[in-house]
Structure 1
């Protein structure tokens, strides 16, 4: 795992200032503490920070082919590099190192952009080809590894693994993109399709960009996509066996490492399944680690300990205080753009714990998206059945009216919170799901915006981004649409951003075997009843793991990392909640109504309503604005 950065002059081959490139590269030092390097030529410069994982002696970058015709800067891992290398050797290529980086270089030389179809891994890389004067930027299929880029005033394109690499270049303009503010407040993260800085782009998952000197900047090209439009025809038993084999292949391929390797273990289905298959494939005790909380209702270490004992892992756990909010500024520094998923706090802590003994850790991320594991998937699937029975002409006016008059009861158990369900059923499936997956509703956001921001936003509607994804998804039903949209927005924008930034912050490589693209393609073809069955998500995955894991792990309610932010804003963070309305960067933007923000804070602190998620969003936005714009 590493960090990459670069400068490419698209119009003419102007010289690249090595000092500027070095500053961009050094901004990513936390991603690569083991080494750094830059390479420049007329019109182009590539930078690299290295975290050594494979071929510790021979994998230094930027890496050049022996004839210096192609140069690579690469972040990630190619899990099938040995198979691709063997194929390239049969075609006559000779290798000087044992690294996966060199495999990418020769794969590009042999197949050009089609090399991406042969690579199974997590990656973001840049290859400059001196013969064609082309720069090839590519990102892995699911978007595990990030890549930012922007055109600047001298005609060059800057790129880097994190936004801070671009920010280190003085030519990058720091103008805010106000539609991204609405996106962020809608979803709790800035989606991959946009950025908080105007003019900055993120190369989308499963896309590449091929730039050539002397030619206009092209649009990125999609080389892979999820497809829910087909269905597997095998029996449930056959599909279960196929799933287990794919899981084994995915886990085993991610256990190749020349440095100590372990796993995150939460005690949930996904991480427990990964650990079970690691133990089956390992001659030594698997190193596992867990984070627990001193508040019993939030603590899952007992379940993790049971799995560790079952598979005799070398297990470590650490209990942190439920009021462990001291990382807020650290996280704001590492995420650059505002990020409001509070589970980033414990994810940082478990990465920190893992890094004490390993350099690589496998995680269970990805199964919820692939196998319909979120409760919202189950609810949406049930709602879609109702929509199929009742026409929109009835649902819109009747259920919409009932939802409008039904009392709001956020404090009540989910089955008694009918208001949101009625309002969702009154809309189309995509419209209902887009709001269900969000943090704040359109009306909730508009209630705290200033008149000026509302005027500037005009008819912009953040949820439309997800609605469009669902309506245009290669899908057969509403569940397919919801999962597709989550994989295009939620997965890269929230889950993978969280894991990448928190693990890289401590110099740890996180690998996600459940995001193996072959496994994802298999899951997308499963009949809906093998994903959601009798109110249970991830049905086939759980069935397939019954031979490995006990039922109290497989079928207990999903918990995940939970942070008590509601209590924080009524206690130690109460003053920060009040300051948001008047003393911080938010107030200086003029985007928000100070009186409305004060009411949000006062109502929460007094216990009249639970506004903790909105307050957390506003706090993280405030800290991000301070860093990005000096407000």
Structure 2
């Protein structure tokens, strides 16, 4: 795993390329390199985190003939592809996947990616064209700026501050997206003029000035294929499919152990991470290293993880933190996340990554299981809401005393607003987005941002679970979950790997019918059956317990000083992004217990902290 940055700019210079590259040194402390062609103004910069072939033979950027690449990621089956290339006459001077990718691209072009199982983001010069490519699920980030025939790219936004043509101006539409979802939805970034390469996308700029966009993979294709094959799948015995699924999981998980450095697993005590640990432990000859974080004075998942680790026989370690230690991370978040991300689970993720890096260099997590096996409560809640008559959406608001009495324990007012929004929408995409949004249109208008109305887009013929899985994979997973883990791990030079997001595995699970994976609305039914053959399910932590922090309580207590500073009305008025009166009222409601919804205020606080660090201009 590494970080990359560079440009193709006829007026660019070597010093700029080095500055962009070295802005990402935290994610690549083991070496650096630069491919520089001054006549073209072409620069490919690379910061190395050595995982495979730790020798100088793995130095990047790597060249072959007139080709060059700066690459980050891992191709876990690279040895298999290497043998195929060797049979065609290619020779190799390293034991790296980078060399396999480069020579594979020379042989097959973009089609090499159909052979690769892994994660990646890379820039590749083929002698005439520059390619920017991102892996199928978007595990590794890649941003670019293309204006007036000049291209710049980087793994993280902070590198663009060293590119002279970059002007840090916040994109108002991206800010709205951030408020709605808690993250900026691709292809936008928070900065005007800077975009994200989409998951499964390859962008190509030619020497003749041409630009082409290739979507070489998307999950929708496989979900639709599954709908067409549904009868054939359901005709097969469930036990046969379950055995086949188990074999797919075992293969995908085992591939993630390929490394020349120590590897461990994040173990939360939930279904997904427990299954990763169980399947890997049963194939190994030595104890798997597993890691858990617990909180002395808060939600603690460590006991469940400890019991599972003892049953499986892993080499288990725990880190216990106080709430004060967790809260101390909040002001530091903009250093880790150079694009605002309002998921409160970034806090324990940062703490866990920092500690685990002292033990191993590679850590496996279990992200992607919820999306493939319908683990989020909203799958059942949305379909349940749609069973009620739509005329309920025309009901007005109850008297204020109702919220005063009933909202002291739960976010009843916010839940009612979402239900009304769902009932008022006439298409599935808008119903889904109402379910997942933090800020509805009324909230946006109250805080001084324009509402966006129903979202436009295709509504392919998919079953409800498949439709939601598609939206979650392309939205929440790619925009929130994966950046959360990537930035936290790479900030401390820890390589994070995602066993559930093996491309071949996702293609297979996307084709499986919901009736098999989700019988009678039982989330993760098949994963739990497979896990139940390896440990007592009673050991798992109960229900779907999030990894987030008790943000509402913190905003009423320990984070009040930050709120007073960064959500100060005078400051908000000067910057011009948010309505000070609304923000004051929301804070008063939270302090008085009239609401338990701290998410909106947390989103605003995270943005304000980020804005101070990265110098965005006011409106």
Short-chain TM bin: over 0.9
Residues 123-152 of structure 1: CA deviation (Å, up to 9, x unaligned): 00111112xx10111100000000000024
- Alpha carbons 1:152, 1:172 under 8 Å: kept: no
What is the CA distance between 1:575 and its match in structure 2? 3.0
Deviation at 1:217, TM superposition (A): 3.3
Displacement of 1:423 after TM fit? 4.3
1:520 matched to 2:516? The reply is no
Q: 1:156 pairs with 150, 156, 171, which one?
A: 150
Runs (5+) with no aligned partner, structure 2: none
Where does 1:288-299 land on structure 2 (aligned, <5 Å)?
288-295=290-297, 298-299=299-300
Q: Aligned pair 1:480/2:466, yes or no?
A: yes
Change (3 A) 1:88 1:587: farther
Say yes or no: does 1:427 pair with 2:425: yes
CA gap 1:301/1:259 in 2 versus in 1, 3 angstroms: same
Instruction: Give, in angstroms, the shift of residue 333 of structure 1.
Output: 1.7
Question: Among 182, 207, 212, which residue is 1:213 paired with?
Answer: 207
2:164 paired residue number: 170
Q: Is the 8 A contact 2:411 2:595 kept in 1?
A: no
> Given the alignment of the two structures, is residue 372 of structure 1 paired with residue 374 of structure 2, yes or no?
yes
Question: Matched residues in 1 for 2:567 and 2:540: separation?
Answer: 45
Counterpart CA distance in 1 for 2:184 and 2:241 is: 36
Write the distance in 1 (CA, Å) between the matches of 2:436 and 2:383.
14
Q: Partner residue of 1:557?
A: 543
Q: Is the 8 A contact 1:265 1:304 kept in 2?
A: yes
CA displacement, residues 261-303 of structure 1 (integer Å, 9 cap, x when unaligned): 111011111111011111112211111110001135x101011
CA contact (8 A) 2:567 2:605 kept: no
User: SS state of the match for residue 496, structure 2?
Assistant: strand
Query: Match for residue 441 of structure 1?
Result: 440
Question: Which of 41, 47, 50 matches 2:48?
Answer: 50
Post-superposition Cα deviations, 1:147-203, rounded to whole Å, max 9, x if no partner, equal: 0000245x3200010011122212112222101111111111111221111110000
User: TM-score, with normalisation over the residues of structure 1?
Assistant: 0.91
* Separation of aligned partners in 2, 1:595 and 1:15: 47
Query: 574-583 or 347-356, which moves further after superposition?
Result: 574-583
What does residue 606 of structure 1 align with? Answer: 592
Question: Of the candidates 129, 132, 135, which is equivalent to residue 130 of structure 2?
Answer: 135
Q: Does 1:39 align with 2:35?
A: yes
1:108 corresponds to which residue? 105
| Superposed counterparts of 1:5-84, under 5 Å | 5-9=5-9, 14=10, 16-41=12-37, 42-43=39-40, 44-57=42-55, 58-65=57-64, 67=65, 69-84=66-81
* Post-superposition offset of 1:436: 1.1
Deviation (angstroms), 1:491: 0.6
Residue 146 (str. 1) matches residue 141 (str. 2):
yes
Measured at CA, do residues 512 and 23 of structure 1 come closer, stay the same or move farther in structure 2, by a change above 3 Å? same
- Return closer, same or farther for 1:158/1:177 CA change in 2, 3 Å cut-off: same
Task: Kindly indicate whether the alpha-carbon contact (under 8 Å) linking 2:27 and 2:490 is maintained by their aligned counterparts in 1.
Answer: yes
Q: Could you tell me how far 1:585 is from its partner in structure 2?
A: 6.1
How many residue pairs get matched?
Answer: 599
Aligned to 1:329: 331
Q: Is the Cα contact below 8 Å between 2:410 and 2:595 reproduced in 1?
A: no
Residue matched to 1:578:
564
List runs of 5+ in structure 1 lacking aligned partners. Answer: 388-394
Q: Deviations over 1:300-345 (max 9, x none)?
A: 1011001110121111101111242111232212211111001001
Q: Does 1:202 align with 2:196?
A: yes
Per-residue deviation, 1:224: 3.5
- CA gap 1:178/1:253 in 2 versus in 1, 3 angstroms: same
Contact preservation (8 Å) 1:152, 1:158: no
| Structure 1 counterpart SS, 2:477 | helix
Tell me the equivalent position of 2:266: 264
Say which is worse superposed, 105-114 or 569-578, in terms of deviation: 569-578
Is contact 2:327-2:558 (8 Å) kept?
no
The answer as to 2:476 corresponding to 1:490 is yes
Q: Distance in 1 between matches of 2:597 and 2:563?
A: 10
Bigger drift between 310-319 and 17-26 goes to 310-319
Shift of 1:520: 1.3
SS in 2 for 1:510: strand
Displacement of 1:73 after TM fit? Answer: 0.5
Residue 437 of structure 1 and its aligned partner are, at CA, apart by 0.8
Contact 1:76 1:122 in 2 (8 A): yes
Secondary structure of the structure 2 residue equivalent to 1:545: helix
Counterpart of 1:314 in structure 2 is: 315
Range with greater deviation from structure 2 (560-569 or 485-494): 560-569
Q: What is the aligned partner in structure 1 of residue 352 from structure 2?
A: 350
**Is it true that 1:530 corresponds to 2:516 in the alignment?**
yes
Shift of 1:220: 4.8
Whether 2:553 is the aligned partner of 1:567: answer yes
Q: Conserved in 1, the CA contact under 8 Å of 2:308 and 2:540?
A: no
CA distance in 1, matches of 2:205, 2:555: 48
**Partner of residue 341, structure 1:** 343
CA distance in 2, matches of 1:418, 1:183: 22
- Structure 1 pair 86–148 and aligned structure 2 pair: CA distance change class (3 A): same
Which whole-Å CA distance do the structure 2 matches of 1:308 and 1:320 have between them?
Answer: 20
Conservation of the 8 A alpha-carbon contact between 1:338 and 1:620? yes
Change beyond 3 A, Cα 1:539–1:425: farther
Please tell me whether the aligned partners of residues 134 and 198 of structure 2 are also in contact (alpha carbons under 8 angstroms): yes
Deviation, 1:374, is: 0.5
RMSD of the TM alignment (CA)?
2.1
In structure 2, distance between residues paired with 1:561 and 1:584: 34
Alignment of 1:226-305 (within 5 A): 226=220, 227-229=222-224, 230=226, 231=230, 232-233=233-234, 234-295=236-297, 298-305=299-306
CA distance, structure 1, for counterparts of residue 491 and residue 429 of structure 2: 36
CA apart distance, 1:548 = 1.2
CA contact (8 A) 1:187 1:438 kept: yes
**CA deviation digits over 1:92-120, x for unaligned, max 9?**
11111110000000110001111111111
Q: Distance in 2 between matches of 1:445 and 1:531?
A: 37
Partner secondary structure for residue 164 of structure 2: coil
Q: Give the drift of 1:480.
A: 1.4
